[in-house]
Amino acid sequence: MRTGPVREWQARGKVYGMSEASNAVPAGGGATGRADRAAQRRALASKYALLPLRLFLGVTFVYAALDKLSDAHFLAGAGDPASFVSQTQAAKSGGSPISFLLGPALDHPTLFALAIAFGELAVGLGTLLGLWGRVAALGGALLNLSLWLTVSWSVSPYYLGNDLGYLMAWTPLLLAGTPYLSVDGYLARRADRDRARGLGEDHVKRRALVDGGIAAVAIGGAGLLSGSLTRTFGRDRSAVPRQSAAPVSNPPVANAQAPAPTVAAASVPVGGSAQVKDPATGDAVYIVQPKAGQYCGLSSVCTHSGCAVDAPKNGQLYCPCHGSRFDAATGAVVNGPAVKPLPKYAVTKDGDKLTLGPQQG
Ligand code: FES
């Protein structure tokens, strides 16, 4: 008897809100039954196709918000190169197409920095729980659009700017909303039941709006509390080196005995650089000559999250991942989010050759 499984499919189809076509039940055994079941599985997979993306974006935005709120540098003043105000100033002077909109953010940097962090938290929680999913997706898309047009604007080529990728990732959720495994889905199903009970459309809509609002206030309150606690107990990143999310450095290898790398002095003009490898770590190092006759080496590994910084240009080394800039003479941070300088190396000149020395400090 197939009555049990058939009823189960029908029940699941109703719960998941499947269309009638996809709700067709396996009619029996044999090839037709297998084809029906395969069609059911495909329909189910299509239906939940956006769940991994939703999970990723929700978790990432909650993480990013708490990361900002726990970072003492983010809300520091203009003297801190990793602060919101310094990064906004850099975006304004770096040719952002919306630089004319950045004035108010620079006038009230703490307010805007907190608004961004708590906005990310609201977007992340709304996305994870599927509460007003389209509104949350719109908020996420606007945040990433503004970050792309500011912080990531000078990243070249454009596809390395991660904010553009996030902006595109929000569009499916913006179009589809969060109807499954979500508060939105629950409210929609309850509205259907209310209609079936004969309640008027105005009443149904008002009830869904009020209940959605109550859920938003509850979740927003929880977000505010967790964000405030994170802010209160945040740590000073200058004392805690950030772990690399995408490290380009190799683990230390036992080849410190390898001969020190050398380059022709003529290959390092004033303001230019030549690239060698640190024999102890395998990391790329730029040998630079910031002033005539002054040579040093600077690690190419960004101290923010381990991306490779570009070769020196106009007196600075630029990191394409999140826009940190380092002084090409000293390795000091010019603009964050990095807070630690690039590791420096001694370089000695012997005749027409430059030799990389050990890392300093
Ligand atoms: S890795 Fe983030 S700025 Fe370099």
Q: What does the pLDDT read at residue 308?
A: 82
pLDDT in tens, 229-255: 776 665 544 433 333 333 344 444 445
pLDDT in tens, 20-37: 444 444 555 678 888 889
DSSP 8-state symbol, 71: B
Mean pLDDT of the chain: 80
Q: Which of 322, 333, 339, 340 to mutate to test the pocket of ligand 1 (most atoms within 8 A of CB)?
A: 322
Task: Report whether pLDDT(157) > 70.
Answer: yes
Q: Is the CB of 83 within 6 Å of ligand 1?
A: no
The domains of the chain, with CATH numbers, are 4-43 (no CATH), 51-233 (no CATH), 262-360 (2.102.10.10)
CA 357, CA 331: separation in Å to the nearest integer? Answer: 16
Contact 131, 216 (CB under 8 A): yes
Ranking 72-76, 198-202, 226-230 by mean pLDDT, the lowest is 226-230
CA 86, CA 79: separation in Å to the nearest integer? Answer: 8
Separation of 323 CA from ligand 1 center, angstroms? Answer: 6
Contact 70, 228 (CB under 8 A): no
Q: Which value, to the nearest 10 degrees, does the dihedral of the CA atoms of residues 303, 306, 312, 317 take?
A: -50
pLDDT in tens, 296-314: 899 988 888 778 888 888 8
Task: Report whether pLDDT(16) > 50.
Answer: no
Task: Report whether pLDDT(7) > 50.
Answer: no
Q: Which of 310, 324, 326 to mutate to test the pocket of ligand 1 (most atoms within 8 A of CB)?
A: 324
Residues in Cβ contact with 174 at an 8 Å cutoff, skipping those fewer than 6 apart? 134, 137, 138, 141
Q: pTM for the full model? A: 0.63
Q: What does the pLDDT read at residue 80?
A: 67
Task: Report whether pLDDT(318) > 60.
Answer: yes
Task: Report whether pLDDT(256) > 70.
Answer: no
Tell the residue nearest (CA) to atom 2 of ligand 1: 322
Across the range 84-106, mean pLDDT stands at 81
Q: Is the CB of 338 within 6 Å of ligand 1?
A: yes
Q: Which of 73, 162, 319, 340 to mutate to test the pocket of ligand 1 (most atoms within 8 A of CB)?
A: 319
Q: What does the pLDDT read at residue 62?
A: 93
